Amino acid sequence: MNKLTIALPKGRLFKSVVPILQEAGIVNRDFDDDSRKLVLTDEDNNIDIILSKAVDVQTYVENGAADIGVAGKDVLLEAGAKVCEVLDLGLGYCRLVVALPVDKGITNLSQLAPTGRVATKYVNVAQRYFDQNGIQIEVVKLNGSIELAPIIGLSDMIVDITSTGTTLKENNLIEIAEIAESSARLIVNQVSYKTEYKRIRDIIEKIRAVISN
């Protein structure tokens, strides 16, 4: 049996995904939260778990460095990675939205000026969305705390994910449009899906059984 490699995001999804893999019997061992190890081997199941930044999981999977991975749909939409998206894990639900300061008095896209400056991590998603809506934008790429940009005048609006809505609210921002919904997806390398089809299907079905319980 060949060794399979599963890439997991180190961040907020990790704690929710590991118990699913354990309950599905795909991995037996425990994973120490405090460990700095980036490759965790489960000898019994012949599986390596590699831990990467959430945005990088799809890169490992697309290039075959990992056979399977877990990535947010937001990240997949942004990267456009050539991977097989095989299962919605129903975790990490959030929405990609356009938001701007409440005090601008704008409540929907049609009230926006024909040009504007947008701060975001999701530059491709944002560009595509505004192109489709005939609004010319300049994108300012940021890597976090996106909500800060319109407050301090770096941008007119933002494209970012929202979940509870707390961050938008606490920074006096209002959502004016939803671009997409997002949740964590199981992704598979296109070649591995063919060469290890039976084993990977078995893994998918075991995970499906756990999450549909």
Ligand X SMILES: O=P(O)(O)OC[C@H]1O[C@H](OP(=O)(O)OP(=O)(O)O)[C@H](O)[C@@H]1O
Residue 204, Cβ density class (10 Å: 0-12 exposed, 13-18 middle, ≥19 buried) = middle
Helix locations, the chain, DSSP H? 14-23, 57-62, 73-79, 123-132, 148-151, 166-170, 190-195, 197-211
- Residues found near ligand X in the complex (CB under 6 A): 144-147, 160-167
138: phi then psi, degrees, rounded to nearest 5? -110, 130
C-beta of 47 vs 94, nearer to ligand ATP: 94
Pick 67 or 150: Cβ nearer ligand X:
150
Residue 98 to residue 108: CA distance in whole angstroms? 9
Residue, CB closest to ligand X: 144
Q: Specify the residue, 124 or 145, whose C-beta has the smaller distance to ligand X.
A: 145
Region of 6-14, 60-68, 101-109, 145-153 interacting with ligand ATP (CB under 6 A): 6-14
- 146-175 binders of ligand ATP (CB under 6 A): 161, 163
- Which of ligand ATP, ligand X, none does residue 165 bind (CB under 5 to 8 Å by kind)? ligand X
Q: Which is nearer to ligand ATP, 95 or 206 (CB)?
A: 95
Answer with the entry of ligand ATP, ligand X, none that 145 interacts with (C-beta below 5 to 8 A by kind): ligand X
- Distance between CA atoms of residues 106 and 99, nearest Å: 10
Considering only residues 76-105, where is the footprint of ligand ATP by CB under 6 A? 92, 94
CB nearer to ligand ATP: give 104 or 128: 128
Look at the chain and count its residues: 213
Could you give the strand order of the β-sheet that contains 184-188, starting from the edge strand earlier in sequence? 39-42, 47-52, 4-9, 68-72, 184-188, 84-88
Q: What are phi and psi of 132, to 5 degrees?
A: -60, -30
Binding-site size for ligand ATP (CB under 6 A) equals: 15
User: What count of Cα atoms within 13 Å lies in the side-chain half-sphere of residue 178?
Assistant: 8
Pick from ligand ATP, ligand X, none: which does 54 bind, CB < 5 to 8 A by kind? ligand ATP
Give the residue with the Cβ less far from ligand ATP, 73 or 106: 73
Binding site for ligand ATP (CB under 6 A): 9, 11-13, 53-55, 72, 74-75, 92, 94, 161, 163, 182
